[in-house]
């Protein structure tokens, strides 16, 4: 199955100003979880996110110019569970830094969650 939802766990070493589609935002140093979906081509989507050479299309493309991907977690599914997964990660005490980041096509506050310290162990529980 090449369909599913995913979480990119990323790290910013320093406070960083990033221009995201014309809006400059100051992102605190720390860890970020970005939730996305690919109901066609999951592996290709993740490979694209990891690539340094790409046309910027999504919010995350701008963020990834500065952040380093630490881990990728995946749930293989035919269902669009992106919003469900984002809410689960938000419940881990994630904090919103930029409203509507990656969620302009849904009712979620954001699909990018900030954590001052590495949430890897908490994420492992979500993905069991």
Q: 9 near 120, Cβ under 8 Å?
A: yes
Q: How many separate domains does the chain show?
A: 1
Q: What is the pLDDT along the chain (128 residues), one digit of tens a residue?
A: 699 999 999 999 999 999 998 889 999 999 999 999 998 899 999 999 999 889 998 899 999 999 999 999 999 999 989 999 999 999 998 787 888 888 888 898 899 999 999 999 999 988 87
Compute CA distances 66 → 20, 74, 82, 95, 107, whole Å: 11, 23, 24, 19, 27
Q: What is the pLDDT of residue 1?
A: 67
Q: What is the pLDDT of residue 79?
A: 92
- Domain hosting 52: range is 4-126
pLDDT at residue number 100: 83
Model pTM?
A: 0.93
């Amino acid at each position: 199955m090449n369909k599913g939802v995913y979480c990119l766990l990323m790290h910013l070493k320093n406070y960083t100003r990033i221009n995201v589609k014309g809006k400059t935002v100051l992102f605190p140093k720390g860890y970020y979880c970005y939730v996305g979906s690919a109901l066609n081509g999951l592996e290709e989507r993740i490979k694209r996110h990891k690539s340094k050479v790409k046309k910027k299309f999504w919010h995350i493309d701008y963020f990834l110019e500065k952040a380093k991907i630490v881990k990728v977690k995946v749930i293989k599914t035919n269902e669009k569970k992106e919003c469900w997964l984002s809410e689960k990660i938000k419940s881990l005490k994630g904090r919103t830094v930029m409203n509507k980041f990656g969620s302009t096509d849904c009712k979620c506050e954001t699909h990018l969650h900030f954590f001052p310290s590495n949430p890897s162990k908490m994420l492992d529980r979500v993905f069991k």
